[in-house]
Structure 1
Amino acid sequence: MRLSQICSVSEPLKLGRLRGNHFDLVVRNLRPHGASDEHFSGADVHGRLAALIKEAVENRRGFVNYYGPQRFGSGQSVLSDQVGLTLLKEDMVSAVRLFFSPEESDDPHSLAKRHFLQTGNAKESLALMPLSKPRERLMLRALNRYGTGPDGCVQAWLSLPHSMRVFYPHAYCSRVWNDAAAHRLSTMGLGVRQGDLVWTQTGQKRTEDTGETTCPQIHVVTCEEEQAGVYSLEQVLLPMPGNSVKYPENAMRTWYQERLAGDGLAECRFRVSSLKLNLPGCYRPLLAIPHNLSYQLRRAAFSHGAKKQESVTESLTLSLNFDLDSSCYATICLREIMKCET
């Protein structure tokens, strides 16, 4: 580990204030999409893959700035955004039950969750819960002390640090943002439209995930500006729902209203006072653009099979190096390059 540029500053770094992240990724055993092992041969495969990767990597338009699957807890029976929606509805008991929804497996974590849902016995469930699950253990301790009724469930959520509590409503808002981005592009295309929100200051940090919602650089595109092509798609912002954001002044405003109403949040003020949560919202760029991107496609040999009958197969390996701005997801960037699900 190397530490550098150490100095005294007036205030500490907070969530969302980093400049960005650097990624060095290696993708092994590449093949054209849909190709099986028996078809993964021939002299033209390397050239075909090289052309596909060159086209994807050198795309200067960027990619849709979706929140990545880790924001929602991929692979779980109940995703974090579902828990967050229930918290925003202030149904604390249902939120606790969703939180403790077990997977179908019989690992100790799932067994402890299942025991709690079946028996309601927080003390016994705590004894079964692995030590590696601090959130679940904190909540079970509180449920054992305060009970499993509405007030006890409030205390269970309050037993979590604020950053853990707010994660779930943020996950819901992130899901809405992802769906809004998909709808915006499918219905309004790749151009900048009247009523869109745009970022008018270049070379400055955008407000994102910091709770800072006073942003004079947010501008509503006029009809004249749309016709003149004043702004580009990479300047377009979409709001993450909250109580202090401006919504687009076009069809997207109606989409947000209908989406929130459909989820039962038509009157939501994005405050959960019992949990000391306030969600002001933020603005997120519709597109993300990797910086300092470089790549290398090379051949690599790997062996497989038993040692006595070991065979050596040649495969292709892709090395990717790039920087992303704060709150952009490398998993989404990789999905765009690979053209496959993360």
Structure 2
Amino acid sequence: MYVAVVLDSFLDCSDQQNVVIMVRFREKNCSRKRTADCQQKQELYTAFILQKENLETLEAIGFLSSELGVLPSDFSYTGIKDKKAITYQAMVVKKVTPERLKEVGSTIERKGMKVSNIHSVHQHLRLGQLKGNHFDIIVRDLKHQGNDTSANLKERISEAIENVKKNGFINYYGPQRFGQGQNVHTDQIGLALLNEEMVHVVTTAEESANKYIIQEVVLPMAGHNVKYPNNKVGQQYHKMLTSDGLQMCRFRVPALQLNIPGCYRHILKHPHNLSYHFSDDSVKEIGTGDNHLDESKDSLCLSFGLDPSCYATVCLREIMKCDL
């Protein structure tokens, strides 16, 4: 019996017993996957910290892409930062060298941006890599109620802050998530595409044990890979879903390449390392471009961290007992 071996091709060879053996060897370094990996390794990625003031994140990316001669889609980042603030966030840009990014520093600075910690990396940023956010916030124009003195006001504020430290705050989405100040809110746009609602639910382990604590309760965000409760909350969820014509929705829109698996969101969150102090000194206006407040009045300075997808405005709402 004979065996014919030819690299990357087939050759039939038979003996007197009409036995045919076909052997094909592929060179070790010629796999398709390796070719794709090599292309990815050859891509040029530069990481940096973007500081911006009074700019939307996408607006800042638009300026940067124009100056660097790349597309906005060549930038990767892990979230959108507020406009009316001085914000810092990690970004990665493709097809731009660190030297080239440094060259545009003076130009973008005139538009309210700075870049720092510039260095080469091997890949872009992905959603989910963000571990959280830190906030330094000044609340101005603290107002007394009735016959309250300054001491009474500070005492009530301190009590509210300590309460949030201990008990946390309900993890609502911030109003900016829905397009605050716009005629058509983003939730209405989402409804037109697919629509999702939220309800309260407990996790499987808690449900089977029939025991849970408030910190473990989550909201399911509608999608094809989430479980809904078999109780009145679940009934209300399905009722609302039906009212929007989505009772049979698979949460996939192939034409838009839209795929929503859904997720779970804790209803209660705690700020990390929350600290504060009062100031009766005038504080410079930051990041808003206008100021109609009396800077001479008492101010509250707050510093805290939040988990990803938590909103500082919602935490402040709990402390201040009013909508922002």
TM-score after normalising by structure 2? 0.56
Alignment partner, residue 324 of structure 1 = 306
Letter in 2 for 1:20: G
Alignment partner, residue 159 of structure 2 = 55
The structure 2 residue matched to 1:76, chosen from 176, 182, 190, is 182
The structure 1 residue matched to 2:250, chosen from 269, 282, 300, is 269
Residue 324 of structure 1: how far off its partner (Å): 0.3
Structure 2 gaps, min length 5: 1-114, 284-293
Q: Secondary structure at the match of 2:181?
A: coil
Distance in 2 (CA, whole Å) between partners of 1:295 and 1:338 is 14
Residue 298 of structure 1: how far off its partner (Å): 2.0
Deviations 1:302-338 (A, max 9, x none): 9xxxxxxxxx984110001000001101111111111
Distance in 2 (CA, whole Å) between partners of 1:338 and 1:46 is 16
1:23 matches 2:9 = no
Is residue 141–residue 295 contact of structure 2 (8 Å, CA) maintained in 1? no
Distance in 2 (CA, whole Å) between partners of 1:247 and 1:239 is 7
The number of equivalent residue pairs is: 198
TM-score after normalising by structure 1? 0.53
Alignment partner, residue 239 of structure 1 = 220
Cα gap change, 1:261/1:315 in structure 2, threshold over 3 Å: closer, same or farther? same
Residue 12 of structure 1: how far off its partner (Å): 4.6
Deviations 1:4-42 (A, max 9, x none): 9x8967x6542133110000001111114xx4xxx6xx7
The structure 2 residue matched to 1:197, chosen from 197, 202, 213, is 202
Is residue 68–residue 332 contact of structure 1 (8 Å, CA) maintained in 2? yes
1:66 matches 2:172 = yes
Distance in 1 (CA, whole Å) between partners of 2:302 and 2:277 is 7
Letter in 2 for 1:47: A
Q: Secondary structure at the match of 1:30?
A: coil
Q: Secondary structure at the match of 2:172?
A: coil
Alignment partner, residue 110 of structure 1 = none
Distance in 2 (CA, whole Å) between partners of 1:7 and 1:13 is 13
Q: How does 1:97-112 map to 2 (within 5 A)?
A: none
Distance in 2 (CA, whole Å) between partners of 1:12 and 1:56 is 41
Distance in 1 (CA, whole Å) between partners of 2:295 and 2:227 is 56
Letter in 1 for 2:316: L
Letter in 2 for 1:219: A
Alignment partner, residue 3 of structure 1 = 117
Distance in 2 (CA, whole Å) between partners of 1:322 and 1:235 is 22
Residue 276 of structure 1: how far off its partner (Å): 0.7
Is residue 275–residue 304 contact of structure 2 (8 Å, CA) maintained in 1? yes
The structure 1 residue matched to 2:274, chosen from 288, 293, 303, is 293
Is residue 238–residue 248 contact of structure 1 (8 Å, CA) maintained in 2? no
Letter in 1 for 2:299: T
Structure 1 gaps, min length 5: 89-171, 185-195, 199-217, 303-311
Cα gap change, 1:245/1:298 in structure 2, threshold over 3 Å: closer, same or farther? same
Distance in 1 (CA, whole Å) between partners of 2:218 and 2:238 is 17
Distance in 2 (CA, whole Å) between partners of 1:313 and 1:17 is 39
Letter in 1 for 2:302: L
Distance in 1 (CA, whole Å) between partners of 2:218 and 2:307 is 15
* Structure with more contact order per residue of length (Cα contacts < 8 Å, sep ≥ 6): 1
Is residue 17–residue 326 contact of structure 1 (8 Å, CA) maintained in 2? no
Is residue 16–residue 327 contact of structure 1 (8 Å, CA) maintained in 2? no
Identity of counterpart residues, as a percentage? 47
More helix by share: 1
Residue 278 of structure 1: how far off its partner (Å): 0.4
More strand by share: 2
Residue 247 of structure 1: how far off its partner (Å): 1.3
Cα gap change, 1:7/1:323 in structure 2, threshold over 3 Å: closer, same or farther? farther
